[in-house]
Each structure stands twice: as C-alpha cells, then as structure tokens.
Chain A
Amino acid sequence: MERVSWRTQVLSKHLQQPPSQSPLSSNPCLSYSPPELSERFDFETKEMREILDAHNLQDRDWLFGLIKQSGLFNPRNAGGRVFVSPNYNQSMEQQREMTMKRIGYLLDRGVFRGWLTDRGPEAEMRKFAFHEVIGIYDHSLAVKLGVHFFLWGGAIQFFGTKRHHDKWLRDTESYAVKGCFAMSELGHGSNVRGIETVTTYDSNSGEFVINTPSESAQKYWIGGAANHATHTIVFSQLNINGKNQGVHAFIAQIRDDDGNVCPNIRLADCGHKIGLNGVDNGRIWFDNVRIPRENLLNSVADVSPDGQYLSAIKNPDQRFAAFLAPLTSGRVTIAVSAVYSSKVSLAIAIRYSLTRRAFSLTPNGPEVLLLDYPSHQRRLLPLLAKTYAMSFAANYLKMIYVKRTPETNKTLHVVSSAFKATLSWHNMRTLQECREACGGQGVKTENRIGHMKGEYDVQTTFEGDNNVLMQQVSKALLGEFVAAQKTKKPFKGLGLEHMNRASPEIPSHLTSSTLRNSQFQMDAFCLRERDLLKRFAAEVSQYQKQGESKEYSFILSYQLAEDLGRAFSEKAILQTFSDVEATLPAGSLKDVLGLLRSMYALVCMEEDAAFLRYGYLSPDNAAAVRKEVTKLCSELRPNALALVSSFGIPDAFLSPIAFNWIESNSWSSTQH
C-alpha cells in the first residue's frame, strides 16, 4: 500500500510540473529532474561506502581528485559538469602515449611511492585501492601499471632474491626501468608448462642463452613490449647439460634507455585490439640472447657458476607451482576491478533509469520511469545485488591475499581462480545488460558502458582462461573429496566442512520468510555443492572403471565440473556476504543488505538449472523462488539510487546520461 501511494505521489508530482519556456517541453515528460530530489535515502550512503570500499577511502578520493584536476585525463564539460575519460577516438599510438604521460603525472605526484619498496598488508591494501581507482578511470592505464608493478615487479619480488630486489625494485618504482612479463607464447597461453622458449647455460662465459626455437614460441600479448618496456621477465624451459629442469624465470633487457631494441631481440606489435588500445601489447623473439647468470630469478632454484642445477624443491610440480605465485596477485586485481567496472555501469544505467521515461499507461498519461517497470527492475536489480555480493567477495579475496602464508596457498589459488572467473563473467554480463538498458545512449562512447565491454572483455581469458580456472577449482575440490575418502578424515578447508555434517533438508513448501532466511539460503547452496561434488566424483570414477585415464575421465566429466565450480563460487560469495552482515548492528543499513543478500541467493537459485535438474528445489519451490525475486525487486526499487550512490564513484567518473542528459544534448551545448 505504501508503495502504491508512493507511486501516486511520483506521478502526481510529475503531472504538476509547470511547463518551462522551451517549446519542446509541452510534454511534461521531457524535462529532467535530478533523481536525488525524489528518491529515498533510508541509510547513510557514506557508511555503506565504507563497507563496500572497506579500506583507504581518503586515499581513493585523493587520487580521484588528482585525476579530475589534470588536463592530461581529458576532462570534458557536458551539461554543466566535468567528466573525465580517455579520448578513445585517438589512434592506438596516441592512446599508448597518453597512457605513459598519465603514468608520468601520477608518478610525479607520488601515487606509486612504496608500491614495491614498502612491505606489509597496509602498503598492499593502499596499492590495491589506488589501482582500483585508476581502473575506474581507464582499464588500459590500470593494466599497463599492473604489468609493470604486479607482474614485472611482483616476479622480481617473489622469484628473485636480495640481489634482484636491491638492483631492480627501486628503479622499477621510479620508472627508471620499464618492465614487462613474457610468459604467454603464440602456441601456449594458459598451459604455461608447455612453453617452448628454451634457455641453456654457458659455463665458459657464466651466461644464460635464451632462444625462441620456433614461430609458435614467440612471446605473445606481452604488455609493454611493443613500445615502452626496457626489460622483461622471460619464462623459459631451463636446459642444463641436456636435462630439462622445467619452467624458470629470467631477466633480459630488450631496449636501451633511448628506446632502441637490443641486439638479438626482435620485437613486433600485436596490433589494434577490441579494447585496451592504450596498452602496447607486443611480441618478442630471442635469438641467442645472452644474459648474466645473476639474471636467473633464483628464489626457487639456482645454477652454480660451473653449471650445476641447485634447488631445494626436488619435485618439479611443486617448483612450478611456486613459480605461479605472482599470477595470484593478477587474478586478485582482475576480480576486484571487474566489480568496480560493474559498479560504474550500474551506477550509470540505474541513474538513467530514474530519469528517463518511456510509454504511458493511459492515453495522455505521463510516461513511466524506466525503473518503475517491473521488467526493468528485474533486469538491473539482481545484477546490483550480485555486484554487492561480489564486492564483499573481492574484499575477502584481497584480505586472504595480503595475509597469505605457505599454508593458505591452496585456498588462495582456488578462491582467486573461482572469483576471477565468476566476477569477470558477471561484469561482462552486467555491462551488456546495462548497455541495453540505456538504449541507444548505451552505445555512445562518452557514456562509457558500451565501450567498456571491449575494454573489459579480455578479463575473461587473460591471466588464466576462465574455463580453465574453473576446471582447476573443481579439480581441487575433487582432490579434497578423494583424500577425505581415502584417509577417512573429515573435510577441512575450502569451505567444505559442511560435508562432514548431515545433508541439509529443504522444506517441501517454501514461504517468503524461509526464502529470505540466510540459513535456508546457505543450506540450499551447501546441498548443491555437496551433491554436485559427489556426482562429479562418481562420474569421474565411473569413467575410470570403464578404462579411461584419470585425466581423460576428468575431461569427459566437464559438465559436472562446470556446475560444481559455479556452486563453489556462488556459495563462497554468499558466505562473504553473510560474514559482512554479521558484523553490522541492526538498522536500516543492515536491512537493505539483507534484501540484497536474499536477492543474490535467490537469483542464483533461479538461474542455475542444477537446482531443478537434481531436485534440490521442487518445481513448486522453484516457482516460489522466482516469485520472491520479483517481490525483492520491488522492495529494492526505492533504494536503487542510494545503493548506487554508495559505490562512491565520483560524478566525474560516470557519464553524461547519468545526469542531465537533456542539457548535455541540447542544441546550445553543440555551439561551443
């Protein structure tokens, strides 16, 4: 009833608007009213932002301001507001130069101070916060920095030892050297162990010799290689006295200080891309490139001056796993930046839907606001709830990353793989839905959303193809299952402890209050995970009994593997949401988070056919879930503006359609 009267108020207000002088405005629908004037704010958006951003809020705002105040970041005026966004109409070469100029500006202002030379969780969290803000401005800029600091710098930190740290970290932080990270090859991407680049040792000169033995071994997609990088990490097979010791990492110079390509190095461009044209992805060939013995990053293994291979880790599998550690930080930053990209698009699309009207319910009646259509709510609000849930998941991932220990490595690997894939897929889906929800305005580059589809698409495959990562998640879960069966020990870790308890019961008749109960939601997610894990294990073992190899059995069971990976991710995300809720005092803020959590849980249930296919929900219960989603939509609708305002993305980083799009498109705005 409250809602009905609220709608009546909105409509009557809308009708009573006095006609303004413009000849176009004889229809009252064609005037812009800022949504802030009519929408409700039941909770403190500032407090909500503190929960969402979770750390370094002032540092973030400083950096937003730093970007907004500089002409280098392409400020443009539209509808009386300043918006900052790169000029994507520039050529690829111009965009790449602008990326470097922006890096220079941020460097001069001290943004990168301590990114590699300060240690500890506080420094890492600040670095994350800055990187997130930069990603909100432009994905190219964030990726270019990510390659230099997280991949090149991270490789030196993690694979290198003191001599490398002393020599390279300070110079990296000041951009005296510009680093890149040559792992992928034309013939090998996610399968790093299969790379073909080969390095031998020459004990006469005390040097390593790096070679690209075939065209498929050329290093490919190497960010920074096409134009700017002076040095690279090279991933290569290490061949000592005819024996292959597996993949190792080396430092090689590829350009001198003046930008000239070094001898025995060949460089080429990857060319124009569907996005990220501000990043100079390139290709590298090594022709007997000689580097000093000290350039082997030797934290895991070393080669003595006389050519003996030395490693504390005898098992090549474990040695290889140790090498992949820096890629974890890449996955963390991808997962987090995917969430911020979703936030930008939802903030724009929801603000637009609160100011744009279409179609009247009655002849001569006022046109209806887009977000007052239940169908429009159903398109955007579940994505909003998921984005909230994934914000908490991303914060949790950052936290386990900065607090990592050797014991938590497996959890970190599995969770970062699952979240990187889930959050980046969610982002692509959100961008597409938001783009459509803005109609034609969504395809204008100045409105960001449509363009961001191209900019962020790569997230689903770089630093580990999402499908491969999700298979690794299922494989790890299967490993836990098999081990628990073998040792007869209870499950411990990866959130599988619920497997030790009795299987949860789903009530045969689900009421609204049960559906919104967090225990019920968690039970349903646990039931799905446990059942899928058992089915997956059974199917793999069935194939093995039929004589298939373990590996091929796993490949044949891909459908259940996918379902299980999704079940794991969604449950882990729900858990992080509940954990955040539990820390909050009762009040309007907690109430709205409860609605969002229920929306997240129920929409996941509605979307995953596994719930029906395997009978976790009866058809009647599935119908009840679906009905509840629409109810939640209408309950979240009044808070939509407050919820996107809580993202804390400054107006200048949204786009003209998020504000007075009539003014920013007026004739007078074309006249100067």
Chain B
Amino acid sequence: MASSLAEEEQVLVEEKLYARTLVLNRPRQLNAFSFQMISRMLELFVAYEEDSNVKLVIVKGKGRAFCAGGDVAAVVRDLNQGNWKLGANFFRKEFTLNYLIATYSKPQVSILNGIVFGGGAGASIHGRFRVATENLVFAMPETALGLFPDVGASYFLSRLPGFFGEYLGLTGSRLDGAEMLACGLATHFVPSTRLSMLEEALCKVDSSDPVIISAIIDKYTQQPHLKDKSAFLRMDVIDKCFSRRTVEQILSALEEEATNKKDDWISSTIQTLKKASPMSLKISLRSIREGRLQGIGQCLVREYRMVSHVLRGEVSKDFAEGCRALLVDKDKNPKWEPSKLELISDSMVNQYFSKVDDEEWEELKLPARTNLPVSAIAKL
C-alpha cells in the first residue's frame, strides 16, 4: 500500500469549508505530472463535482513551480522499451483531465506562482480563473522536444489575440505574469506577497458564482507592468508573419522582416524556429489552425490521435530524440529526422491527423457532460 500512500502525497488536499485546495507536491521534479498524480487529480475533480459541499477548487504547486508539464521522461522510458501504448495511456488520462477541467461546473482558481510548462498549462488554463504572479514563467516548449503543444493547447492558443498563439506554440517562447494577463492566458495578476491573504479569502467563499469569486480575487490584484521588450508589444510583426499559411512562409516572412531592419528579437525568433523539430513545427501549426475552428472536445480527440502517432514514431522519431538530447543525455543537440521542412510532405503531416491503424488503439472517448452551466458549455 506504500504506492497508494505516495500517490496521495503527490497531490495534497486541503479542505476548508466549501473550498478544496489541491497542492501539486512533487517539488524536486518541479511538480511534473506523473501518471499517479493525474489519476488522483481526475478522481478528486470527479468527486468534487458531485459533492454539494464543494463550491470551489483551488490548484497550486509546491515550491518554485506550479507544474513543469507531464513527466515525459517516464513516457520516453516506456517508449524506449518498445511500449508506446503505456505512453498513450498517460496522455489519454491527462487529456481526460483537461476536458473535465475545461467543462467543469464549479469554478477552479489556479495559482500560477512559478513555472507553468506544457501539461501545467493544461491543468490550469482551461479552468475559470488563472492567477498570475511576478514569479510566473509560462511556456509551451514542445516543438523543441519533438512533440507539439498538446493538453488542449490547440484550443487555448488558437484563441489568443491575432496570431500570438501560433507564435507561442511554434517558438515555445516564455511569458511572464504581466504578459500572461495581457494576452488573456491569465485572468488576474496578484503579487505573490498577497497570495496567502487571497487564499484565505477564497476559503471563506460559500458560492460557486464566478462573479462573486472574480470580485474576491479583484481585491488583491495589481496592474502589472509589461516589460519594454515583451513579445506582446511586437504583435504587428507577429500578426504579419505568424498568420502565413505554412511554416516555410512564416519563416520567410520573418526573414524578410529581418532584412528590412536589424532586430535581435526577430533573429532570435528565427533561430528558435530553426532549432525546433521541423516535423513538430508542421504538425503544431496545423493543430493550432484546426483548433481555432473546433471545440475543446474535438481538439483533445485530435491531439490524442496526434500524440499516438508521435509515440508510435512511424513518420518521425523526433520525440524520442528530443527527450534524449534535452532530458537524458542533455547534449542539447537533437538530430531531427526529417531534418528539414522541405523534406516533409503533406501526406506525412496528414498521417498525424488520421486514426491510428492498430486494432487495440481507440479514439479518445471523452466523458459525457450534461447539465453544464453556460460558462462550461461555451468551451464545447
């Protein structure tokens, strides 16, 4: 039973009146999601929805991270042992949690006081309230890892202003708390010194009314200052370049900008794109583009297809290679295959969006959600 004890310890639960606070508690791994953590979160969320004594769910992380993403190191370990289905199972569980959060009938307040990468975004951005602090560091860094922004990112990135979502998803650029608020990924900015007071106030709430909860958070907010070099202030260039039809056209639009005037931000953006997995860039762009026109459920079903193909590695093994180069050997020198954008055909990209040709594989089946409040339905 030791394992089940460990399981519970990875997610600490604090109960106060009508509020439940879930603390991601794996600080040495920056609270990266293990399979057990996700299962536990899913259990808790399901139970709280039924429980009329729960009106509000608060999620936060222990230490300097909210959550640094899914524990891909574990997934890759399975993968290298030839077991892609274990990995697929991890994502299936994680995406189900993302869906539950996105359609949750009770408000969730996520306290983003530190690192929020990949899967961490999936566990927070889909929820009703996202509180940023000065310690927040957000990124969707998957293209550097041979993956693509998953956990429903094709839904939330595609709904950011203009083509900022394409920019974040392709480059994996980092955002701070002020930028998160400016682009809408965060709903509030609260200085970290006021967090304990905020949590205390939230724990006294006896209502699920989002208006009331928002008003409480409002009392602790501060208007943060957007730094001069913020990417959010470069929206004109981002819109002009990242709106292009293909990754190649995005790159050439950026290069054209760079020749017109010397600009460090543009050249580093180009460098980042050139370092990322070409296949990741292609499928990420298409995923965001499709996601812009789909509901959250459709996005997750599609992303599950995609991630299954990534794990199977029949078109490209970039995910295993990216994890090797960045997480295992740490040589930071992945050898992508295909190595160049122009070596990737449309049919190769198409394959990631098709059903997986394997008898045991199943589409992601999302739980039926009925009698949802308006705020949850809007995300369907």
Contacts and interface: CB of A to CB of B under 8 A. Distances in A.
Contacts of A68: 292-293
A660 B293 contact: no
Nearest to B249: A110
Contacts of B380: 34, 36
B240 A110 contact: no
B219 to A, nearest CB: 21
A372 interface: no
B374 to A, nearest CB: 5
B375 interface: yes
A359 B356 CA distance: 47
A64 B239 CA distance: 15
Interface in B358-380: 368-371, 374-375, 377-378, 380
Interface stretch (A55-63, A146-154, A568-576): A55-63
B371 A62 contact: no
B377 A61 contact: no
A110 B244 contact: yes
Contact of B245 (A18, A34, A37, A110): A110
B163 interface: yes
A651 B371 contact: no
Contact of B378 (A17, A62, A81, A110): A81
A59 B346 CA distance: 12
B249 A62 contact: no
Interface residues of A, number: 28
B371 A17 contact: yes
B293 A64 contact: yes
Contacts of B371: 17-18
Given A61-B293, A65-B289, A663-B374, A37 B244 contact: no
B9 interface: no
B163 to A, nearest CB: 6
Given A58-B286, A69-B162, A109 B243 contact: yes
Interface in B139-173: 158, 161-163
Contacts of A650: 292-293
B134 interface: no
A69 B377 contact: no
B255 interface: no
A62 B245 contact: yes
B244 to A, nearest CB: 6
Nearest to B165: A69
A117 interface: no
Contacts of A305: none
A59 B245 contact: yes
Contact of B158 (A32, A37, A65, A108): A65
A605 B370 CA distance: 42
A79 interface: yes
B290 interface: yes
Given A69-B163, A69-B243, A61 B374 contact: no
Contact of A61 (B249, B289, B378): B289
Interface string A1-29: 00000000000000001100000000000
A61 B243 contact: no
Contacts of A59: 245
B369 A37 contact: yes
A80 B243 contact: no
B240 A34 contact: no
* Interface residue tally on B, bucketed by range: 20 to 34
Interface string A60-86: 011011101110000000011100000
Contacts of B243: 66, 69, 109
Contacts of A651: 293, 295
A27 to B, nearest CB: 16
Contacts of B370: 33, 37
Nearest to A17: B371
A346 B240 CA distance: 35
A580 to B, nearest CB: 21
A226 B162 CA distance: 33
Contacts of B249: 110
A79 B378 contact: yes
Contacts of B239: 69-70
A68 B295 CA distance: 15
Contacts of B292: 61, 64-65, 68-69, 650
A650 B286 CA distance: 16
Given A58-B289, A66-B243, A80 B158 contact: no
Nearest to B246: A62
Contacts of B245: 59, 62, 110
Interface string A83-116: 0000000000000000000000000111000000
A488 B179 CA distance: 80
Contacts of A109: 243-244
B346 to A, nearest CB: 8
Contacts of B295: 36, 651
A70 B162 contact: yes
A34 B368 CA distance: 12
Contacts of A61: 289-290, 292-293
A586 to B, nearest CB: 18
Nearest to B161: A69
Nearest to A111: B245
Interface centre among A59, A66, A69, A651 (most CB of B within 10 A): A69
A32 B370 CA distance: 11
A70 B375 CA distance: 24
Contact of A660 (B162, B163, B244, B377): B377
A367 B306 CA distance: 43
A414 B369 CA distance: 52
A662 to B, nearest CB: 8
A33 B370 CA distance: 8
A660 B378 contact: yes
Nearest to A60: B293
B74 to A, nearest CB: 32
Interface centre among A58, A66, A80, A650 (most CB of B within 10 A): A58
B154 to A, nearest CB: 11
Interface string B259-289: 0000000000000000000000000001001
Contacts of A663: 374, 378
A80 B290 contact: no
Contacts of A32: 374, 377
A639 to B, nearest CB: 18
Interface string B231-258: 0000000011001110001000000000
Contacts of A79: 374, 378
Contacts of B378: 79-81, 660, 663
Contacts of A37: 368-370
B159 to A, nearest CB: 8
A653 to B, nearest CB: 9
Given A34-B380, A62-B245, A69-B243, A80 B289 contact: no
Contacts of B161: 69
A325 to B, nearest CB: 30
Nearest to A44: B355
Interface centre among A108, A109, A650, A660 (most CB of B within 10 A): A109
Nearest to A109: B243
A64 B293 CA distance: 8
A663 B376 CA distance: 12
A61 B370 CA distance: 29
Interface in A497-547: none
A34 B244 contact: no
Contacts of A62: 245, 289
- A-B pairs with the 8 shortest C-beta distances? A80-B378, A650-B293, A65-B292, A663-B374, A62-B245, A109-B243, A69-B162, A65-B289
Given A79-B378, A80-B374, A650-B292, 5 more contacts: A18-B371, A64-B292, A651-B293, A651-B295, A652-B293
Interface of A: 17-18, 32-34, 36-37, 58-59, 61-62, 64-66, 68-70, 79-81, 108-110, 650-652, 660, 663
15 contacts: A32-B374, A33-B370, A58-B286, A61-B290, A61-B293, A64-B293, A65-B158, A65-B292, A66-B243, A69-B163, A69-B243, A70-B162, A79-B378, A80-B378, A110-B244
